[in-house]
Amino acid sequence: MASEPGPAGLLTMLGSSTRRACLVCLLGLVALGCSKKGAPQTPASTGERSPSVYTVNYPLAYFAERLAPEGVEVVFPAPPEVDPAFWKPTPDAIGQYQRADLILLNGAGYARWTRTATLPKSRLVITADGCRDTFLRTGDTMTHQHGPDGDHAHEGAAFTTWLDMRLALCQASRVRDSLIELAPESKHSIETNFEALTHDLTQLDTRLRGAANAWGDQPMLASHPVYQYLADACGLRIESTHFEPGEALTPKDIQDLDSLLEQHPAKVMLWEAQPLPDTEQTLGDRGITVVVFDPAAQPPANGDFLTVMTGNATRLACATRGETCP
Amino acid sequence: MKDSLYLAWRYLHHHRAKTLLLVLSLTVFLGLPLVMRAMSAVIQQSLMARAESTPLLLGKKGSSLDLVVEALYFQPKGIEALTAADADEVDATGLALAIPMRTGLLAQQFPLVGTSLDYFAFRGLESANGRALATLGECVIGAEVAATLGLKPGDPMLTSPSTLFDLAGVYPLRLHVVGTLKPSYGPDDRAVFVDVKTAWVAEGLGHGHQDLATASGDVVLKRTDGTATGNAKLVQYSEITDANVDSFHFHGDPSSHPLSAIIVVPADDKAGVLLRGRFVNDSARQLLRPAQVVEGLNAQIFRFERVLQIIVWTVGLATALMFVLVMVLSWRLRADELRTMARLGCSRWKAVQIMGAEVFLMVGTSVVLAAFFGFVIAHYGETWLQNLVLRGS
Amino acid sequence: MIELRDVQFEYTRGGFSLRVPELQISAGTRAAAIGPSGSGKTTLLNLISGIERPEAGRIDSAGVRVDCLSPVARRAFRVTNIGFVFQDFLLLDYLDVLQNILYPYRLHHDLRLDADARNRAQRLAADLGIDRLLDRRPDELSQGERQRVAIARALVTAPKLVLADEPTGNLDPATKQHALDLLFEQCDALSMTLLMVTHDHGLLDRFDQVVDVSAFGGSPP
């Protein structure tokens, strides 16, 4: 830029406000630290506090807690009584996510609220991205059409990716990479923790596949369409209903069940939680064994993700081997 | 000296109209170059500050100036759009942060800017009231927008329809103001910021409506297994609320949705060089340094200013000569007064002092007025001047 | 008070000359200068006040030899020793009456515009009956009132000598008499010497001395 003459005092005055704005911008740029992929991250907050990691479900929180070094706070803020996939956080809760140093999303369309929320992309990791070429659908897709744009579908994405232990491990590896970017000085401990987690998840995978292999290609039922990845990983043929564990089956439900059984004569039914005794009786009358398989989207009252999944694997194995499940 | 100033002041005060005319002409003569210089400096410095604070800008191939003007100063220039996939591509390099920008729309005559949360931290924008964007349908407004429209968090704000008389055009979207920003003395003060997804909804790429899967028959034209077709009675929402936010969706692949530009913030200088290298042979896109583009604009402004200065000084010289003529004629008409002064014992030098004091007071007032106008332009006219230059660019 | 001896003066342009072999006017005298137009009455006043300098001769005014003074000294002498009353009053329309009276104080550094000066101006205004007009402008006054302001201006510096060049020329008879009464009264009260140019021979009996300027041999152009 050519130098221009002018009243010195006026230019100084002119310079101050524009120079102030430039300084703020430069300070903002200087504040950019290491990024998740080498790209600069925008600062989440100022002041001395431990780095925070926010997740959209419990499995990711578990992986982060297993891998994170001391001093990293892992937060999963959804209330325990709601399904995190359908939780609608308040603006304040979204604000907490915005201020986090790292936000772990599941991917595959999990946590519907993230589609319409404003989250800082620079601190966002979609853990399941890249772990599969395409994600599964639930099978009950309803497309609709209005105007000239043609069909599009709203529902039908299957998102419980962590029930496939290999996908879970892939997600955990993304968590590991993100934590190393967040706390590079703790890379060694994170890697060590990851090795231990890998071992645990691999063992779980083996147990689940073993239980599934014992069942072969026999049909299986599920109370809700949340076991797609488990079925896909373990080769299980699962058809889903929409039965709630805490609600009694209506005559229509039973009618639908019987219709389903005609084409899909299952002898085992996976439930997210223990159904009512009457429901269990109704299923028992039809020769169906109830197997509680908790998807572990929320933290358990006792134990952790590993103990829950281990219990799931044990119960599945018992059922598929025709043994009495504990 | 005090007496000379007193007599001069009394004379000028008595002949107010003449004094005012002379002072105004002198103010214009003295002030015009000052104001022009101030305007030029303000424009160049503020344009440059904005451009220099933006390391790189990615856009569709075309006019680099239009791209910079629209992306940095939010003046709609009708530039061709990139897609969200381009932003993902930049992010995937690991070399830079990609901040999406969707511009070209208006909300109650102010630019509607769709972007991400990263933009606010990047520009150092601070909240004055309320909070940051959290969800679809919300907006955060600049200080000037808030002051002009009297808006605060909790108030609604409408986007402007993209076509006024086109029945098939996009209707206004009712936004919710959730925050106002502190003044940043730049284009951000005049902007209405939304999430880029909200901008897409505002331009009709996304919408929400009644659930056709469960809707009653009078809005369903045809229903088959797996497909429902809506008719014209289907209600499409013009406002995003907690109750209907889940119904909002986008047509097509989100990665194909348009972006006007992408602000690219490299991790370091080397990353910036690498990135520029990647796009140098790109036939469809350009990655440019806004500072370089604005330097070119400033050079044009400077050249134009030089020509104007010559014209102004020429006119000013004529004004000065007219002023001298008026003063000489005035003193001739006051010959009796001068003779009286001499007879009463006033020296020639004193007489010159008294006459000179009149000139001094008028010129001094003009200088002060000219400096004042220059200050006002410099201090308060930055945004107005920027718009004046950018609208015509 | 005023003495001229062998004074010769000639305007370089126009060809007018004046010769005053001898003229004496005592201090405190009321003197009238008469003569036809162009006879040199105003020139005589200019020589006595130091506005003009003679080619030859001696001029003593108010105890000061004026003909030998430099222009600067003559101005200083004039501003502190002589009061002028002009035929056309020559008041300034952009000053009010009080400031017009105090005008001489603003023209020379030898005069200080202090409280004494202001008090003197107020007293003169009261004596001349114009004290209620001090905030008016000249164009708001009658001819007589303007003449009295001019008289006050001439007297405010307490000069030793008052030179009046046809001060009543533009006044009606009644106002003329009143103005003269005031002028004479003030000059007598302050023991000032008065030399007044007049065309009105009817007033001559009010003067102590009459100077016929035409006798000095002034030759008009």
Among C16, C17, C21, C18, smallest CA distance to C6 is for C21
Whole-Å CA distances, B37 to B34, B48, B297, B375 = 5, 16, 16, 11
Whole-Å CA distances, C77 to B384, C160, C195 = 64, 11, 17
Please identify which residue in the block is written with the tokens 């013009």: B238
- Rounded Cα–Cα distance for residues C100 and C152 (Å): 9
Mean pLDDT of C205-216: 88
**Do residues B175 and B137 lie in contact, with contact meaning Cβ atoms separated by under 8 Å?**
yes
Q: pLDDT at position A8, please?
A: 45
Confidence of residue A308 (pLDDT cuts 50, 70, 90): very high
| Residue A326 at interface with chain B, using a CB cutoff of 8 Å | no
Q: pLDDT at position B226, please?
A: 55
Residue type, position B50, single letter: R
In a domain? residue B334 = yes
**Do residues A161 and A153 lie in contact, with contact meaning Cβ atoms separated by under 8 Å?**
no
Q: Pick from B257, B288, B319: which residue ends a domain? A: B288
Instruction: Average the pLDDT over each of A231-245, A266-280, B230-244 and give the range with the smallest value.
Output: B230-244
Task: Determine whether C169 is exposed, middle or buried from the number of CB atoms within 10 Å of its CB (0-12, 13-18, 19+).
Answer: middle
Whole-Å CA distances, B9 to A84, B360, B372 = 82, 10, 21
Contact yes or no for B344 and C99 at CB 8 A: no
In a domain? residue B132 = yes
- Rounded Cα–Cα distance for residues B190 and B141 (Å): 8
Q: Pick from B288, B315, B348: which residue ends a domain? A: B288
Helix, strand or coil, per DSSP, at residue B195:
strand
Whole-Å CA distances, C112 to B11, B338, C117, C149 = 21, 21, 8, 20
For residues B70 and B202, state if they share a domain: yes
Task: Determine whether B11 is exposed, middle or buried from the number of CB atoms within 10 Å of its CB (0-12, 13-18, 19+).
Answer: buried
Asked whether A and C share 3 or more beta-carbon pairs under 8 angstroms, the answer is no
For residues B142 and B11, state if they share a domain: no
**Do residues A226 and A159 lie in contact, with contact meaning Cβ atoms separated by under 8 Å?**
no
Instruction: Dump pLDDT digits (tens) for B65-105.
Output: 999 999 999 988 888 999 999 999 999 898 999 999 999 99
For residues B65 and B109, state if they share a domain: yes
**What's B316's DSSP letter?**
H
More confident residue, A319 or B251: A319
Q: pLDDT at position A39, please?
A: 44
- Rounded Cα–Cα distance for residues C17 and C12 (Å): 9
Who contacts A237 (Cβ-Cβ below 8 Å, separation ≥6)?
A217, A218, A219, A220, A231, A264
In a domain? residue B74 = yes
For residues B139 and B67, state if they share a domain: yes
The pair of structure tokens assigned to B205 is: 């790429």
**Per the structure, how many domains does chain B have?**
2
Could you list the beta-strand ranges (E) of B109-230: 110-115, 127-130, 138-141, 156-158, 174-181, 192-195, 206-207, 220-224, 227-230
Q: Which of B45, B96, B231 sits opposite A15 (nearest CB)?
A: B45
The pair of structure tokens assigned to C117 is: 């000066």
A-chain residues near B38 (CB < 8 A): 6-7, 10, 14
Who contacts A87 (Cβ-Cβ below 8 Å, separation ≥6)?
A78, A79, A111, A113
Among C80, C94, C97, C153, which would you mutate to test the B interface (most chain B Cβ atoms within 10 Å of its Cβ)? C94
B300 phi/psi in degrees, rounded to 5: -65, -45
In a domain? residue B180 = yes
Q: CB A293: neighbour CB atoms within 10 A?
A: 27
Who contacts C130 (Cβ-Cβ below 8 Å, separation ≥6)?
C97, C145, C148, C149, C152
Among C200, C215, C194, C169, smallest CA distance to C48 is for C194
For residues B263 and B384, state if they share a domain: no
For residues B119 and B33, state if they share a domain: no
For residues B37 and B70, state if they share a domain: no
Closest residue in B to C85 (Cα) is B344
Residue type, position A151, single letter: D
Q: Which of A91, A112, A154 sits opposite B131 (nearest CB)?
A: A91
In a domain? residue B160 = yes
**Do residues B143 and B149 lie in contact, with contact meaning Cβ atoms separated by under 8 Å?**
no
Asked whether B and A share 3 or more beta-carbon pairs under 8 angstroms, the answer is yes
Q: Which of A1, A18, A28 sits opposite B123 (nearest CB)?
A: A28
Q: Which of A6, A29, A39 sits opposite B91 (nearest CB)?
A: A39
Mean pLDDT of B126-149: 95
Interface of C with B in 57-86 (CB under 8 A): 72, 75-76, 78-80, 82, 84, 86
Task: Determine whether A276 is exposed, middle or buried from the number of CB atoms within 10 Å of its CB (0-12, 13-18, 19+).
Answer: middle
| Residue B311 at interface with chain A, using a CB cutoff of 8 Å | no
A-chain residues near B376 (CB < 8 A): none
Contact yes or no for A121 and B132 at CB 8 A: no
What stretch of H or E contains A105?
strand A102-105
Q: Looking at CA atoms only, how far is residue A177 from chain B in angstroms?
A: 13
Tell me the HSE value of C117 on the side-chain side, using a 13 A CA sphere: 19
For residues B21 and B166, state if they share a domain: no
Class of the A207-320 domain? alpha beta
**What's B170's DSSP letter?**
P
Q: Which of A21, A143, A150 sits opposite B184 (nearest CB)?
A: A21
**Do residues B136 and B245 lie in contact, with contact meaning Cβ atoms separated by under 8 Å?**
yes
- Rounded Cα–Cα distance for residues B135 and B160 (Å): 20
Q: pLDDT at position B214, please?
A: 61
- Rounded Cα–Cα distance for residues C175 and B156 (Å): 83
Closest residue in B to C73 (Cα) is B345
Q: pLDDT at position B109, please?
A: 92
Sketch the domain layout of chain A as residue ranges.
52-137+156-197, 207-320
Whole-Å CA distances, C221 to C8, C40, C161 = 16, 11, 30
- Rounded Cα–Cα distance for residues C149 and C209 (Å): 26
Instruction: Dump pLDDT digits (tens) for C90-131.
Output: 899 999 999 999 999 998 888 888 899 999 999 989 988 888
In a domain? residue B237 = no
Task: Determine whether C53 is exposed, middle or buried from the number of CB atoms within 10 Å of its CB (0-12, 13-18, 19+).
Answer: middle
C-chain residues near B342 (CB < 8 A): 51
Among C22, C10, C11, smallest CA distance to C59 is for C22
For residues B270 and B347, state if they share a domain: no
- Rounded Cα–Cα distance for residues B307 and B217 (Å): 72
Q: pLDDT at position B106, please?
A: 92
Q: pLDDT at position A293, please?
A: 96
Confidence of residue C201 (pLDDT cuts 50, 70, 90): confident
At residue B163, does pLDDT exceed 60?
Answer: no
- Rounded Cα–Cα distance for residues A32 and B122 (Å): 9
**Do residues C1 and C25 lie in contact, with contact meaning Cβ atoms separated by under 8 Å?**
yes
Could you list the beta-strand ranges (E) of chain C: 2-10, 17-25, 30-34, 56-61, 64-65, 82-85, 161-165, 193-197, 209-212
**Do residues B59 and B260 lie in contact, with contact meaning Cβ atoms separated by under 8 Å?**
yes
Residue B201 belongs to domain spanning: 56-208+248-288
At residue B259, does pLDDT exceed 80?
Answer: yes
Confidence of residue A66 (pLDDT cuts 50, 70, 90): very high
Contact yes or no for A142 and B226 at CB 8 A: yes
In a domain? residue B201 = yes
Contact yes or no for B343 and C49 at CB 8 A: yes
**What's C201's DSSP letter?**
G
**Do residues B186 and B379 lie in contact, with contact meaning Cβ atoms separated by under 8 Å?**
no
Who contacts A151 (Cβ-Cβ below 8 Å, separation ≥6)?
A143, A144, A145, B227
Task: Please give the distance of CA A161 from its chain centroid, rounded to a whole number.
Answer: 7
Class of the A52-137+156-197 domain? alpha beta
Regarding beta strands B138-141 and B174-181, do their DSSP bridges make them parallel or antiparallel, or are they unpaired? Answer: parallel
- Rounded Cα–Cα distance for residues B342 and B348 (Å): 7
More confident residue, C37 or B125: B125
In a domain? residue B236 = no
The pair of structure tokens assigned to B202 is: 């505002």
The pair of structure tokens assigned to C215 is: 């006798």
- Given a contact as 3+ CB pairs under 8 Å, which chains touch B? A, C
Q: pLDDT at position C168, please?
A: 79
Mean pLDDT of A157-171: 94
| Residue A37 at interface with chain B, using a CB cutoff of 8 Å | yes
Instruction: Dump pLDDT digits (tens) for A214-262.
Output: 998 899 999 999 999 999 999 999 999 999 999 999 999 999 999 999 9
At residue A295, does pLDDT exceed 80?
Answer: yes
pTM score of the predicted model: 0.66
Domains of chain C and any CATH numbers: 2-216 (3.40.50.300)
